[in-house]
Structure 1
Amino acid sequence: MTAIDRRTLISGALAGAALAPTLAPTLAQAQAVPLPPGFVRFPIWPGKAPGGDHVTVTEAETLRRPDGGPHDSLFTHVTTPTLTLVRPESVGAQPNGAAILLIPGGGYSRVALGHEGYTVARRFADAGYACYSLLYRLPADGWAAGPQAPLQDAQRALRLVRALAPREHYDANRVGVIGFSAGGHLAAWLTSRTPEQTYMPIDASDREPVKAAIAAYMYPVIQMEGAFVHQGSRTQLLGPTPSPEMMRAYSLDQNVSAQTPPVFMAHALDDKVVPPENSLAMLASLRATGIPTEAHLFESGGHGFGLIAPPAAPAPWPDLFLHFAKRHGL
């Protein structure tokens, strides 16, 4: 282990212990990609994640692109779900009393934690938010919960973010959720459906409700049936031959809850990976249910633009989101 890896692990472990004393503060293996300065990481489950008796995969972390930044982390075969926190104070910003849970994408086969986690977290920490980036388990890796394994992690993460509010000095009722691509599917699943119990409560954090103040779905995977489905996400989540009933159940434009928080969406019209019809279908369902919603359809930008503003955008989407968030009390 290099000196920088060792320092990263030690600082992350100490910070994790201070944040969540009920959780084991160390990770099972060294980080292949160092955390950005000021970021701390801790596991979301005490001990092992639930339902892993028959899981044989080995977690791996690499750079998303060889020519990318030094913190552009990409995970596959996640076995230790984590939250990575950056506080506003760590980037020289004044806290605003709110927090954001970020859920990166990756087609349910990997998690782009750097591109749609750390980078975005830094931007919103600059705006005063405590930002948590979620590394979640993937559904095809043999977990007992199958397609619900990512939802277990997302529910647990949101409860932890709420439970940590007194210690981190923000309001538990001012927590937003932002998801990207397949992470947008997970964010919509977490926030637009009536919460279901996906795991047995394990500590005091699980007394917190699965409730967000606002949500944002960025170029999201929404539909699991029809002409505009993202085949890769559906196969990873539901297998190669899902039944019509299963596809309908996991299509998030179906059965939007009246308790869904206000929703912000953004999608590029030239997205060839996840067609913008996914966002349009979700927009129609949110409007039909009476949910306050703001949607931006950019002329260009492709898929997975992350923090970068599409060329045709009137303003960087984080600025648009911040205006929306402030209108709704976040």
Structure 2
Amino acid sequence: MIKNYFLFICALLMTSMSISAQPINIALWPNEHLTNESLFNTNVGKQDAKAPMMALYQPTQENNKHIAILVLSGGGYAHEALNKEGTPTAKWLKKQGFTVFELLYRLPNIKENSDSRYDPFADGQRAIRIIRASAEKYGYNAHKIGVLGFSAGGHLAGILSTRWNAHFYPNQDVLDSISARPDFTALLYPVVHMEAPLNTTHAYHSLFGHRSNPSIEADFSVDEQVRPNMPPVFLSHAEDDQTAPILHSILLEHALQKAHVPYQFYRFKNGGHGWGLGKQGTDTTAWPHLFLDWFQTLQ
């Protein structure tokens, strides 16, 4: 009898630990009711996020760095490569002691509504404000909140890091009085520039269509929005990237230098595009630990 009771308690504890290890879904906007299902249901990630949300990954108490990171997958603003980029990175960062929020943001559909191009940026701003407001609840420093993005998610992270006080959406509640400025930024093979000759990316076409839109292209070119008081930047790109050529990051590097913004730029000889935590057989596998080394210099 005692043995059976002991086995029951052990099973209950293991179940509890398993449940607690699952990410917690957090709604971004008022009146959104979410279940705690997985963020994604396909091999590449959600195709259309009607209800944008964050998945929260919490470190163990003994490993907690008390630092939060918002992770943004790429996908050309046409889909979100959660399984390939955001989710593996979120799990890895959690193991390193970070509190991680993986964002599922809305995707623009400019054929139906040109204003929908602002939706990803509205979701990103709102996410940072919620993260900052939740610091005490989830156990991290409200002034140590970073953003990390891949490809188009890197573009989103770059705009959030340069235009944090832009009004991408009308105020909803008291949370919108909170600063949306990240404290540090990591950009992996990012889309940066939206003007010719680099206006050929899928991200560009998703935001602007197939016609040039010079009146707002500069507003969404990260390098043209760099300012001296933006957060420090970790930048990584492969020289053989054919999807978002390394010139994107080179232009950003020049802008950061000119504005005297602290940054670290790692150029890899090969690896192509979309390598997530790193493409085996290339130097891109080094970026996670290079990121940790860089992050230590900020402390």
TM-score, normalising length from structure 2?
0.86
Q: Structure 2 vs 1, CA of residues 310 and 268 (structure 1 numbering), >3 Å: closer, same or farther?
A: farther
Counterpart residue type for residue 151 of structure 2: S
Matching residue within 70, 75, 80 for 2:51:
80
Quote the offset at 1:41 in angstroms.
1.3
- Which ranges of 4 or more aligned residues in structure 1 deviate by more than 4 Å? 141-144
Q: Distance in 2 between matches of 1:135 and 1:63?
A: 13
Q: Is it true that 1:63 corresponds to 2:37 in the alignment?
A: no
Q: Does the 8 Å contact 1:260/1:291 carry over to 2?
A: yes
- Using the size of structure 1 for normalisation, the TM-score is 0.78
The answer to which structure has the higher helix fraction is 2
Deviation at 1:114, TM superposition (A): 2.3
Partner of 1:94: 63
Q: Distance in 2 between matches of 1:252 and 1:236?
A: 16
Q: Return the match for 1:253 from 223, 237, 250.
A: 223
Aligned to 1:269: 239
* Aligned-partner SS, 2:223: coil
Residue from 150, 160, 174 that aligns with 1:204 = 174
1:113 equivalent among 57, 76, 82:
82
Distance in 2 (alpha carbons) for counterparts of 1:220 and 1:230: 14
The answer on 1:125 being equivalent to 2:94 is yes
Cα pair 1:137 1:153 within 8 Å, conserved: yes
CA deviations 1:155-214 (Å, max 9, x no partner) are 000101111100011001001100100000000000023521222222332221011111
Using the TM superposition, name which of 135-144 and 265-274 deviates more.
135-144
Q: Distance in 1 between matches of 2:261 and 2:84?
A: 29
Q: Distance in 2 between matches of 1:163 and 1:191?
A: 18
Choose 1 or 2 for highest CA Rg. Answer: 2
Return the letter of the residue paired with 2:55: T
Q: 2:268 aligns with which of 298, 307, 320?
A: 298
Distance 1:93 1:312, change over 3 A: farther
Aligned residue among 98, 102, 109 for 1:140: 109
Shift of 1:308: 2.0
Partner of residue 241 from structure 1, selected from 207, 211, 223: 211
Query: Whole-Å Cα distance in 2 between the matches of residues 305 and 195 of structure 1?
Result: 31
Question: Is the 2:69–2:147 Cα contact (8 Å) retained in structure 1?
Answer: yes
Paired with 1:144 and 1:200, the residues of 2 have a C-alpha distance of 17
Q: Is the 8 A contact 2:72 2:149 kept in 1?
A: yes
Distance 1:314 1:239, change over 3 A: closer
TM superposition shift of 1:221? 0.4
| Residues 125-176 of structure 1, C-alpha deviations (whole Å, 9 max, x = no match) | 1111000000001111645732111110000001011111000110010011
Asked if the contact 1:93–1:125 (Cα under 8 Å) also holds between the matched residues in 2, the reply is no
1:43 aligns with 2:27: yes
Report the AA paired with residue 134 of structure 1. L
Contact 2:238 2:284 in 1 (8 A): no
Cα distance 1:309–1:321, how it changes in 2: closer, same or farther (>3 A)? farther
CA displacement at 1:310 relative to structure 2: 5.7
Distance 1:191 1:197 in 2: 14
1:322 offset after TM fit, Å?
1.1
Contact 1:221 1:229 in 2 (8 A): no
For 2:199 and 2:53, how far apart are their aligned partners in 1? 29
Deviations 1:264-319 (A, max 9, x none): 00011111111010000011101111100100010111101001256342862111
CA RMSD for the aligned pairs?
2.3
SS across alignment from 1:42: strand
Distance 1:255 1:202 in 2: 26
Deviation at 1:94, TM superposition (A): 1.0
Residue type of the partner of 1:193? R
Number of residue pairs aligned between Structure 1 and Structure 2 = 275
Please say which of residues 252-261 and 75-84 is displaced more in the overlay. 252-261
- Note the C-alpha offset of 1:81: 0.3
Cα distance change of structure 1 residues 81 and 307 upon mapping to structure 2, 3 Å threshold = same
User: Contact 2:76/2:201 (CA < 8 Å) preserved in 1?
Assistant: no
Q: Does the CA contact (< 8 Å) of 2:105 and 2:123 recur in 1?
A: yes
Identical-pair percentage: 32
Instruction: Determine if contact 1:136/1:154 at 8 Å carries over to the other structure.
Output: yes
Paired residue secondary structure (2:137) = helix
